[in-house]
């Protein structure tokens, strides 16, 4: 439902990625699939991985569509410890 899924996802995206309402709207209009990804299973783990690797947290949003293997390759550019 909208109240259980979309509203919390929008709030999370705005806060986690420090987006203005206009910037959030533009991103969702450009890529509506942003609303389909799980906060707990997709967004938060990738944010945590960015922080661990020293990558910009915004990468977790900009590259959210990457498959896991491609995401890991992206992170290896920042951190040789992963």
Per-residue pLDDT of 21-30, as tens digits, reads: 999 999 999 9
Confidence of residue 4 (pLDDT cuts 50, 70, 90): confident
- % of the chain residues with pLDDT over 70: 95
Long-range contacts of 76-82 (CB under 8 A, 24+ apart): 78/53, 78/54, 79/52, 79/53, 79/54, 79/55, 81/53, 82/49, 82/52, 82/53
d(CA 78, CA 75): 6
What 3-state DSSP class applies to 77? Answer: coil
Cβ 57 vs Cβ 17: under 8 Å:
yes
Q: Considering the entire predicted model, what is its pTM?
A: 0.87
d(CA 38, CA 73): 21
């Amino acid at each position: 439902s909208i109240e259980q899924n979309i509203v919390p996802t929008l709030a999370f995206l705005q806060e986690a990625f420090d987006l203005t309402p206009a910037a959030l709207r533009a991103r969702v209009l450009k890529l509506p699939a942003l609303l389909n990804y799980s906060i707990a299973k997709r967004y938060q783990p990738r944010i945590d991985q960015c922080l661990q690797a020293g990558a910009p947290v915004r990468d977790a949003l900009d590259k959210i569509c990457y498959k896991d293997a491609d995401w890991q390759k992206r992170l290896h550019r920042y951190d040789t410890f992963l």
